[in-house]
Amino acid sequence: MEIKEISVYELKELKDKGEDFCLIDVRNPQEFELCNIDGKLIPMSEIIERHAEIPKDCKVVVHCHHGGRSKKVIDWLQANHGFDKLYNLSGGIHAWSEEIDSTVDQY
């Protein structure tokens, strides 16, 4: 199944317009402590146990540091649980820091 992508500019537009969507951060807690963009933390290692916390009835943007882990999570969720409104944040939180909000720390 195809993995849909969303750019950091498209995510900023969603946030600015106050659109209904959910932001899931699949990095580990230590990374989340370093910097985050107000997403719900569900580490990749906990997705199997916590996938029910992710809504199926609205757009869900999944992100990690650069986009690799979030792609794997989306692939697994689509294949195993029928999610169809998932979007991978292209470039992850690193791209967000570089292109949208430089106050978000890089690591």
Residue numbers annotated as active site: 64
Which residues neighbour 67 within 8 Å (Cβ) at sequence distance 6 or greater? 88, 89, 90, 91, 92, 95
The letter for the amino acid at 83 is F
Residue in the block written with tokens 């580490």: 43
Beta-sheet pairing, 21-25 with 59-63 = parallel
Residue 35 near residue 48 (C-beta atoms within 8 A): no
